[in-house]
Structure 1
């Protein structure tokens, strides 16, 4: 009998990638990663997981490789993820259709990945979203900001990980960021289009959904503006019953508007003066450690349950316990050379801490990008109460210290 293979298109260098590989093994599957550069994913070597180099932007090449694997393995399912190019999710949907395997609808994924198309569909369905305009040049951006009114959020119409996203509070910041996006510093994966949107002000929440069931709501805090770098996430979010219900209702309306409802969906929104306003719908699990928080707090392993759906099995979303879990990201406040970073062992020894990871080594350069790439590590903790979890994670973070020496001025 052929061995059951679980095919992963690309991977994720932090967080979810290794967990998909480990969960697949626990389910008795043989994970195989197809990637343009498998060396990007260190965990593949650490987990002794098979990887094949292939052009993952070429659907025909992926079909040929999967067909070749099918001669040796029983391909139980196909999924994928990446922290850079969300078109991977569209490709996954097309591969699943080709091989008659369970998977997301490619058209729905494509609609979500283009933030302008997503906004159109949500607005048409009556889902509350920020006022917005789409722009293809600097004049369009300037006019859009004037119509909406400063401050505005300016972002690429296609992208992920908060890359290229900035709050522009005045005309100088608007001009600076427009020049950055259109001037060649931002890497575009499609024709340049910018979304200029109203800055919806209020607490930020991230909703985790599997199928058409809201699993829970995560409260998110950011590092100081003008960028939107995740600093802390707490699950479950401290919400009243009415707030929770309204956020859940709006989230389920997003699924209907976008033709989603299979597998995982992550919805980001803010609670404003007019209630929940949807910022973004992602047809996948969140990448900022949220699946781990859900697992620690409720016992629901979203990654394992997603894999079950992918291989055609029924998932189990029953809560097994009730705790509060939080993640705190370590974020640099300056550019320079990371002379040293230490204290991770002390942090890990704090009772209630579930995980401590440092992403950077000593003597490496730190050049802030204004997105997830600014993280230099994280701490995760859990306990029976919100206040206790916050105290644990603060104590752990206080145990970690680092020194960044600014780069010398040019010419020295």
Structure 2
């Protein structure tokens, strides 16, 4: 005979047709519930991981991940940048100068944060060159006063490449006519499109042009860094600031955008918890279905006990039956979840385009990003299997407690 006997009988009970169709229905519902719970959890986590990755790549690809600055203009920034790049966790370093002002063109006005950059070095620390729609940041040359703006800002102002715009600085300039703001005429030499809010609020000019506007010596206000691990930014920036000659102050993305990423992580945790409860409910359905099976199989249990089956064998029989339901439901859900997570972006994109629904207009990107992490899939499958196994313990224990004489009294 097939051994172990508990596995053999458990498999037979799983495949056998039941006289009570309601029990079969409950078992099927338990399996379907587990399948859907696992599939939905995998898909939703893939989508949230996708948004998290896009935010890191786009937002933190534009704003400084870490910076060092001092109280005066950094004129020897080439030497300092080279020293910073020698740090093992720094992938690139570039100087920058920031100034706030207003862009005016064709009777329209918009606030903007303008950053003076060195184009060649900026490519090491920023993704702007990869998202240029028109023109190039290489057109930002000293003394030519070119400017690169975001597509949303240029669309709002009705600008095209090579148009003239006026940058208004808030610093007032004394003159014979009184106190007047400082104006400077720029030529639009490039348009970028990131998709986030930076498209409507950021602009780039040459580093030396920024120094000219601020009436400062040629140099930079600070040096920004690109790191191989953004979550080490506070420690790395503080360490580099201490190692540089002179007095430098460190800053990093956690001060400027930390709340955004903390909110995403909190939302991800809460959604995962809610979806995990779906899996938990499906696992408890296994308890109810097995309890009903035990009640239905009392006579069979009594006969097995009479033939010499131990309570431990009876326990294993029903644990095998419940575990099989959990394994089939979990693995089916995992396969379905992986397939759906891999295709949901294309599917929603097709629906959005075909029916003109504009589903992503309120987001910083025009598609649904997904990022399937296999460690998440493994964790979900493992937890689901463990819950399914734990759900079999109580019904199996009840089955082992059935006394043959009591069960066969009315048979």
Indicate the TM-score class for this superposition, using the shorter chain for normalisation. under 0.3
| Structure having greater relative contact order (Cα 8 Å, sep ≥ 6) | 2
Larger strand share, 1 or 2 = 1
Q: TM-score, normalised by structure 1?
A: 0.21
Q: TM-score, normalised by structure 2?
A: 0.21
Answer with 1 or 2: which has the greater Rg: 2
